[in-house]
């Protein structure tokens, strides 16, 4: 199939690598330094020196009838690519990023018949242009593997080496996920900026923010999805406080926090916009 990937950062490059190695015709649409690096290599290159040849472009060709355009930019960047997606001849457009906002705007922009959403269970980063990626295997499905709203693409991704399940209620899943990851992102950001863990008081504030986020999801009419996460919202505050306090001291947190507070800020803004009166603690945590 012909697949275009808009935003070949670490996540987009992981999909490009696996799909190209599976035999699909993959074009990556990049900009800036990433575009220059890919134009030189004409391939996704891993830190282990594995290569998957791809076509490279500075803009999405809207005349090509892509079987799929996979959009892996940040939510704050999607408006810049939305006009091209609207006018694209692509058969399907899949968005894949963190968001708390309603999905209707994106669905309406590309058409309900073409709209797909997904979320990656991938730990990845680019090191001097080379991809260091770890795909969460199906044996971890009790926690999370990659999910999409379309069963056919779940099968295609799985066959390409990215185990994927279907999640029909993606809006509830995304809002639950946002409530969960915002305190984790803020924990990572603090750990990166200070080079040390959170205080107990700071951990407690984030734990209360986590509980408020789950309560907000329910108040908006969504079930906490997947249901096994509901237990987090029911744990006593000292337990979640201890969990975040310990998490802030894990070496991985400082490196995750290097991405900055921008994504957490965007998610908090969307949560506050959805229900200002029920998100006061989240407002106070906004970096």
State pLDDT tens for residues 59-68.
999 999 999 9
- Domains in the chain: how many in total? 2
Assess whether 16 and 106 both reside in one domain: yes
- Residues 156, 174, single domain; the answer is no
Residues 87 and 135 in one domain: yes
Q: Give the percent of the chain with pLDDT over 70.
A: 99
Residue 144, pLDDT > 90, answer no
| pLDDT (0 to 100) of residue 193 | 93
Are residues 39 and 140 part of one domain?
yes
Structural tokens at position 201: 């008081």
Residue 254 is predicted with a pLDDT of: 85
157 and 180 belong to one structural domain: no
Residues 153, 12 share a domain: yes
Check whether residue 180 and residue 146 sit in a common domain: no
Residues 148, 24, single domain; the answer is: yes
Among residues 166, 186, 201, which one ends one of the domains? Answer: 166
Q: DSSP letters along the chain, please?
A: -EEEEE--SHHHHHHHHHHHHTT-EEEEE--HHHHHHHHHHSEEEBTT--EEE-EEESS--TTS--SEEEE-S-GGGHHHHHHHHHH---S-EEE-S---S-SHHHHHHH-TTTEEEEE--EEEEEETTEEEEEEPPGGGTTT--EEES-HHHHHHHHHTT--EEE-S-HHHHHHHHHHHHHHHHHHHHHHHHHSS---HHHHHHHHHHHHHHHHHHHHTT---SSGGGHHHHHS-HHHHHHHHHHHTTSHHHHHHGGG-SHHHHHHHHHHHHH-GGG-HHHHHH--
Question: What is the spatial distance between Cα 28 and Cα 60, in angstroms, rounded to a whole number?
Answer: 9
Q: State the pLDDT at residue 141.
A: 59
pLDDT (tens digit per residue) in 191-209: 999 899 999 999 999 999 9
Distance of alpha carbon 131 from alpha carbon 46, whole angstroms:
4
pLDDT of residue 143: 67
Q: Determine the pLDDT at residue 277.
A: 97
Average pLDDT, the chain: 95
CA 16/CA 258 separation, integer angstroms = 24
In this structure, are 155 and 219 located in the same domain?
no
- Domain span at residue 72? 2-166
pTM attached to this predicted model: 0.93
């Amino acid at each position: 199939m012909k697949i275009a990937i808009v935003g070949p950062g670490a996540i987009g490059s992981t999909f490009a690598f696996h799909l190209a190695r599976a035999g699909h015709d993959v074009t990556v649409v990049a900009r800036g330094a990433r575009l220059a690096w890919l134009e030189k290599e004409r391939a996704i290159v891993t830190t282990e020196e594995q290569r998957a040849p791809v076509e490279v472009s500075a803009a999405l060709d809207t005349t090509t009838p892509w079987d799929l355009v996979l959009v892996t930019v940040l939510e704050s960047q999607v408006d810049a690519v939305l006009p091209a997606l609207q006018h694209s001849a692509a058969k399907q457009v899949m968005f894949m990023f963190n968001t708390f906002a309603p999905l209707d705007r994106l669905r309406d922009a590309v058409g309900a018949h073409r709209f797909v959403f997904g979320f990656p269970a991938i730990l990845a980063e680019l090191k001097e242009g080379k991809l260091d990626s770890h795909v969460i295997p199906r044996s971890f499905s009790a926690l999370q593997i990659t999910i999409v709203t379309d069963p056919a693409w779940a099968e295609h991704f799985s066959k390409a080496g990215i185990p994927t399940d279907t999640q029909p209620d993606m809006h509830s899943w995304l809002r639950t996920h946002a409530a969960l990851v915002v305190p984790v992102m803020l924990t990572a950001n603090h750990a990166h900026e200070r080079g040390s863990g959170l205080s107990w008081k700071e951990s407690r504030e984030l734990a209360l923010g986590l509980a408020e986020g789950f309560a907000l999801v329910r108040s908006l009419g969504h079930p906490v999805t997947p249901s096994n996460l509901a237990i987090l919202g029911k744990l006593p505050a000292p337990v979640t406080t201890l969990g975040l306090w310990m998490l802030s001291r894990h070496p991985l947190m400082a490196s995750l926090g290097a991405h900055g507070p921008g994504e957490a800020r965007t998610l908090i803004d969307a949560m506050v916009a959805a229900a200002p009166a029920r998100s006061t603690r989240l407002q106070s945590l906004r970096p």
